[in-house]
Each structure stands twice: as C-alpha cells, then as structure tokens.
Structure 1
Amino acid sequence: MSALKESKIFNVKDLIAYFLVAGTGVIIQLISSSLIQDWFDISWSDSIVPSYIVGFIVGFILTKLFAFDARRTNQARREMVKFLMVAGVSLAITKMFTVGSFWLATDFFGMEIYTVKLPFAKKEVNLTEMGSYLIGMGFSFVSNYILHKTFTFKSTGFYNRLKVLIR
C-alpha cells in the first residue's frame, strides 16, 4: 500500500470525494462571482467575498453529505460552527492568494492582461483574473481539506470548550 493510502489525513476515498465536492463549489463560486459582478457592477476582486459566501453555504451541505462520511453524525450545529471558522481562514487564504497572484503576475512580472470573448458570453472573460482566482482557490482547497478532515468533521472537544466560553 502506498503512503498516501495509509495516511489518515490523505486517504484516497476522502480526497476524491472532497475534490468532487470542492469542484462543484468552484463552479458555483465562479458563476456567482460573475453574476454578482454584473448585477452590482463591482470589480472581480470585490466579488470574491460575496461569491465565497454563496459557495460556503452549498459547500457545507455537500461536504457534510458526501466528503467525510459525516452525514449521520448528528453534530450539524457543532460542525457548522467549525466549518464557519475554517471558512473564515479559507476566505482569507483565497482573497490573499487571488489578489497576490494577480499583483505578482501583472505588476511584479509585468504580464499582460489576457481576455477572451466566449461565444455564449455577453462580456469578455479576463483570463488573468480567472487564473489568479483559481490559484487562490487552489491554496484554499488544500487548507480546507486538511482543516475539515482534522477539525471540522472530527470530534476534538473544541466546540464544547467554545460553548463554555460563550456562556
């Protein structure tokens, strides 16, 4: 057996399931980002947070049901609090690496901004922004997988300690 299959964090079944769930989240986030830009006439970088929130809601449901075999844990409230905490970290990672990689490509390396007109789209798609967004999501994917696997959908005692602090 390979070390990847034997690892408790990186087992193949969970990794594939999470990749499929996260891929669905990426598609939802990209579509909602584009719609939010159009509806509210905001920049692509300003659409990251609201589209992330849309993806967060769908992501929690799909992750709980399909990714980590947590559909029958009866811990939805606990998992949602933890999921929200991980989502906050993930949002910061997504925003930082998206904006950072765009700056690095365009300002630091002087790369041109590339756009393409798709036959079914009303406006041009900025490939440089899209690539930067995918880089941010990629870094977020890795951190999310590890944090959800080791924290969100695992009983760590954290939620009970948090409830005591809040009361």
Structure 2
Amino acid sequence: MSPNKITTCLWFDSQAEEAAKNYVSVFPNSEITNISHYTSVGQEHHKKEPGSVMIVSFTLNGHPFVALNGGPLYFHTAATSFMIHCADQAEVDHYWNKLGEGGDEQKQACGWLADKWGVSWQIIPDQFMEYMKDKDGEKVKRVLAAMMNMTKMDIEGLKKAYEGEE
C-alpha cells in the first residue's frame, strides 16, 4: 500500500502533459513519474485518439498528482485551490511569477491566482499565517486589511500593518 494515500487528480481537456511539465519545473523535488495513453477501448465514451495522452502522473515537492485529459466536461474553479507556504518574499515572488505566467490577471487578489489552465493557487508567506494566530485582535485586523488590498502578498507590508506602522 502506498505511504501517501491521497493523490490529487486534476482534470484537463487535453493539456495534462503541458501542465504537468510546467508544474514540475516550478517546484523542487518534483518529477513526472509516468505517462499513460488512451487505447481504442472505450473510445465511444472518451472520444480520444488511441495513443494520445490520457494520464500524467507526477509529484510536486513529493506530493502525488495525476493530470487527466478527460475532455471539456469539467473546468477548474477557485472553489479548490492549492496553498503554497513560502518562507520569504523571494519564494512568494518565485511561485507568483511562475504560476501566474499566462494566467488570468482578473483572478489575482489577496495572494490568490489562477494559472493559465484555471488551477487556483494561494501563495502565502509563513509570516502571514503566524500573524493570523496572534491573540491581539487589532493586529490581526490590521494585517487582514493590508492583505485585502494586496494582489501578491508583500511580507514587508504585512509586517508594517502587524506592527501598526501603516
């Protein structure tokens, strides 16, 4: 039995391999582990050409994923997102820039973005999560107010809000 019992499956029309290659280029400790192809079996249902990519198995920083080319039946929404915890502003900038490339800028706010396939990501500095745990409600309110006015999270701006400098 697999030590990790949960694998995230992402549904794509036909871009599974392109998306998986992009994602593994962004995250450390990541790789494509297998690519499966459609056969003629079930073609009356899946309507995919035999030999075309069906499933791409990959890991992102050790977390297992599969990307399925299932056709245009389902689309990604912000109702499901992936939170990336970042140690510093350089990490925030890296993930924001790489995952946001080609994405819908109208869907960027408060540290959230949708990539060019519509997958939603939350790029969250560890400092923000620490500030949210503070027992001082006024500090938390200031940090939340600052965050609500940010597109990409800015650690220095969050810190200033937390310390009451803004």
In the superposition, the TM-score normalised over structure 1's length comes to 0.19
Question: Which of the two has greater helix per residue?
Answer: 1
Q: Which has more radius of gyration?
A: 2
Question: Which of the two has greater strand per residue?
Answer: 2
In the superposition, the TM-score normalised over structure 2's length comes to 0.19
